[in-house]
């Protein structure tokens, strides 16, 4: 880590990003070792990120704004 990482973390925190949004963003950017660690600690978050990645527009059938016939794939527990 560096001072740059520390300062960036302050900016992200000040922005008020939701916790799981930060975790998903970290998963998207992680190298192999760090992704393995994040997946082990947050398996449900990883599953949802994968399901949303594969779903059209990131919309799952469990989302309130889902409309039948729009055919997204996946659920957070797949």
CA atoms within 13 A on the CB side of 25: 8
pTM for the predicted model, two decimal places: 0.76
Rounded distance, CA 64 to CA 62, Å? 6
Model pLDDT, residue 25: 95
Rounded percentage of the chain residues whose pLDDT exceeds 70:
87
pLDDT at 74 over 60: no
pLDDT at 14: 94
pLDDT surpassing 50 at residue 72? no
> Does residue 35 carry a pLDDT above 70?
yes
Question: What is the separation, in whole angstroms, between the first and last Cα of the chain?
Answer: 34
Q: How many CB atoms sit inside 10 A of residue 21's CB?
A: 12
pLDDT for the residue numbered 65: 85
């Amino acid at each position: 880590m560096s001072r740059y990482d520390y300062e960036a973390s302050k900016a992200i925190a000040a922005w008020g990003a939701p916790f799981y949004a930060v975790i998903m963003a970290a998963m998207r950017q992680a190298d192999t070792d760090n992704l393995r660690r994040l997946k082990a600690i947050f398996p449900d978050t990883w599953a949802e990120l994968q399901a949303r990645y594969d779903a059209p527009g990131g919309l799952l059938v469990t989302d309130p704004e889902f409309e039948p016939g729009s055919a997204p794939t996946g659920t957070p527990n797949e």
